[in-house]
Structure 1
Amino acid sequence: MEKSSSTSTSTEKIETSGGNGQVLDGSDIMELVGNEEVFSSFVDHKFQELDRDRDGKLSVKELEPVVADIGAALGLPAQSSSPDTAHIYTEVLNEFTHGKQERVSKTEFKEVLSDFLLGMAAGLKRDPIVILRIDGEDLSEFINGPGYEAEMASLFSQLESPDGSLHDCIVKALEQLTVDQGMPPSSDSWVISNIVEPSLQSCAGQDYDKPPSQETFLMEFKKVAECVAQRLKEQPVIVAHSENTFDGSGIKRLLSNKFELDKTLNAAMENVPKDRNGKISREYLRVALDAIGPSAGLPPIGAIHEMDEVIREAFKMMDADDGKPVREDEFKKMLTEIMGSIMLQLEGNPISISSNSVVHEPLTPSSTLLPPSS
């Protein structure tokens, strides 16, 4: 994910730009789960697809694809990519198996899947994803608009290696353009091979390996951008765009409402095991914090690097990683203090995240958990 900058566009602006934004706000999921007949049919199909040995129950191995799908739908990296995300996938699996190596019936599968989907719908309602069709129109408007020269001259002066070749300067400049200016993420491999590289090749000149002057850069960049716009017109790119700002306000609301806080903490306690003395290891604080996350306006641990750093700092300040067993009331107190620490950090330095991901199959989610949108 990329941190948003001053050139980032608000969701509302992007949604209406060119009239080509489709908003994923969770309403389709709510409609699916709310229609008993349709949802039962969907569950039957998904269960049959997963039940490889046709014994009428799902083993841990057979559940792995749906657990991976839920992770993808939550925006998490692959399970093996980070220790921080491993426990989240484990918790998802435990929701189905109740922490045991038992096989899961269709009824249990349906109940847990319904809960997860409703949770995803709530998340999308809070932070909608906008699906954009980038077709070159906005990029053409940008490069032919009155602000082009001033904006690109400023960008040229900010390039890390202004003494680099013209080719390198153009590539770096394309990487700085956003969906606001009509440019899909140029870091995407498909965009590079099908849009950027062919455009550069078709416009390559004799001086592409030499450092450019600002005037040369502006002129040559415009040529390449025109080629990019034309290719986007021929091969539009679908981009999923989302924005979110974590400023601690969600935690503040939760901490200020004792009833909701107690209710949320009690619910989180259901996800952590106790020893025979009724004590809880402090190593489960992250698991509990993750359970509280949706109520506190926090993303899943492992989903956003910048937020992981804030959480890690809060745990460090509280010396909360020693794994010592504590009573439930102490555990809740520590969890509350950790949230307070996270809140203070975010109030002082809010984290704004803007994500732009190329969707290689138009208007379908990266997860196969849900059927394609109609």
Structure 2
Amino acid sequence: MRLHDPIMLDGSQIRKFLDNESAFDAYVDSKFASADVNRNYRVSSAELRVAVETLGADFGVPPPGSKEAGDRLVQTMFEEYGRPGDDELDRDSFKNALRDVLLGIADGLADDPIVMALLTGDLINSILSDEDEFEVLATSIFSELDENDNGSISKSEIRSAVAQLGLEMGIPIPEGQPATDVVLHKIYEKFNISTVEGDELDEEAFMVLLRKVMHDLAGELSENPVMIAQNVKVLNGTALRKILRDPLQLKDITDRLFDKLDKNDDDKLSNRELRPALRRLGMDIGIPDYCQGRDDIEKLFARVFDKVDKDSNGVIDQEEFADFVKGVLTGLAEDLEVYPIIVEVEAPDKTLIG
């Protein structure tokens, strides 16, 4: 079971919109006209934020509250390009400022894309439609929640059960985010599921109530889908390209790596030692962890090493090591640009109603 196909916000949608001059002009005219309430052909610079946020994920703009990095990026662009000192903007100034803000957001997303998913209740319904799958799932959750093995749990534990189902089952979590709370609060209130211990449920009653909760939750999501920023990082070669454009930074990285790996101080390294070297660099510079056991990552490294290790002699000195690492990083950057890799990160992010 997996989330719906991800929506990648990488700046390309914004640039496509801006390149369509007629569509962009029409949008500017619409937003300017609706904001020009006094009909004096002037609008407040604050209307720029409304114009940007109204676009939303369909046009490649991170929706407000979906991800902290996205919120910071949008805020930074407003501070830099949003004409905060101008109380009023005419139509052309409004258009130019809006374009500058959107281009800044596009550049930021190109460096660090955000991956969104739309939860519509479809995954929940698919689980509920398979009696055997639902029974196995519910039985497993009940066993985990029945810590005392007495065959019953508090009705309030339904909240924990929903949280355990999580995003893989199409459940918008975590609680504590406004959009999630709007949906879940309505469901919990309907079935009188509080946060304090109350009525006890045996396994059968638990399964009946959990099914009802999931059914209604799927209905709510169908009517009011929730857009969620997934807890992933997109490795697309951007960070590597920045390093490759900075000779001093690249030299510092390769020199420090060589010194750490040259344990016997013979100024030589084997190719076998290069993968651990690259792993030391890791995701900080945009390299995926080859030890994850993922086939796409193994294939990525295989392609790149085949390109770089021309003579396959297995031994390199420090100068060759620098050339080798540069070649590998260049190959990774090129390959990741064509075949980006998405890897999970730790903390859950925020949700919002789409």
TM-score for both structures, normalised by structure 1: 0.49
| Mapping for residues 237-316 of structure 1, pairs under 5 Å | 237-245=224-232, 251=239, 253-258=241-246
The one-letter code matched in structure 1 to 2:22 is E
- CA change 1:89–1:51 in 2 (3 A) is farther
- CA change 1:64–1:29 in 2 (3 A) is closer
The one-letter code matched in structure 1 to 2:31 is K
- d(CA) in 2 for partners of 1:109, 1:91: 15
2:180 counterpart of 1:180 = no
Q: Quick check: 1:143–1:222 contact (8 Å CA) kept in 2?
A: no
The one-letter code matched in structure 1 to 2:141 is M
2:162 counterpart of 1:191 = no
- The residue that corresponds to 1:131 in the other structure is 118
Offset of residue 153 of structure 1: 4.6
Please, which runs of 5 or more residues in structure 1 have no aligned partner? 1-8, 16-20, 262-295, 298-349, 365-374
Q: Quick check: 1:50–1:62 contact (8 Å CA) kept in 2?
A: yes
Q: Quick check: 1:56–1:105 contact (8 Å CA) kept in 2?
A: yes
- d(CA) in 1 for partners of 2:216, 2:226: 16
2:156 counterpart of 1:168 = yes
The one-letter code matched in structure 1 to 2:216 is R
Query: Which protein has the larger Cα radius of gyration, Structure 1 or Structure 2?
Result: 2
Aligned with residue 357 of structure 1, among 339, 348, 351: 351
How many residues are matched?
A: 243
The one-letter code matched in structure 2 to 1:133 is T
- d(CA) in 2 for partners of 1:354, 1:75: 16
- CA change 1:231–1:138 in 2 (3 A) is same
The one-letter code matched in structure 1 to 2:114 is D
2:40 counterpart of 1:55 = yes
Q: Partner of 1:128: helix, strand, or coil?
A: strand
Identity fraction in percent:
20
TM-score for both structures, normalised by structure 2: 0.51
Q: Quick check: 1:128–1:242 contact (8 Å CA) kept in 2?
A: yes
- CA change 1:154–1:242 in 2 (3 A) is farther
- d(CA) in 1 for partners of 2:73, 2:3: 35
Offset of residue 117 of structure 1: 3.0
Q: CA RMSD in A?
A: 4.8
- CA change 1:23–1:62 in 2 (3 A) is closer
- The residue that corresponds to 1:23 in the other structure is 7
Q: Quick check: 1:67–1:89 contact (8 Å CA) kept in 2?
A: no
Write out per-residue CA displacement over residues 128-184 of structure 1, whole angstroms, 9 at most, x where no aligned residue.
32223114413415774174256415642689xx99961122222223321322434
| Mapping for residues 148-227 of structure 1, pairs under 5 Å | 148=137, 151-153=140-142, 155-156=144-145, 166-185=154-173, 187=175, 188-199=180-191, 208-210=198-200, 216=202, 218-227=203-212
- CA change 1:209–1:223 in 2 (3 A) is same
Offset of residue 24 of structure 1: 6.0
Q: Quick check: 2:49–2:78 contact (8 Å CA) kept in 1?
A: no
- d(CA) in 1 for partners of 2:147, 2:79: 47
Offset of residue 238 of structure 1: 1.1
Aligned with residue 26 of structure 2, among 41, 44, 50: 41
- d(CA) in 2 for partners of 1:157, 1:239: 31
The one-letter code matched in structure 2 to 1:33 is L
The one-letter code matched in structure 1 to 2:207 is K
Offset of residue 257 of structure 1: 2.6
- d(CA) in 2 for partners of 1:77, 1:154: 35
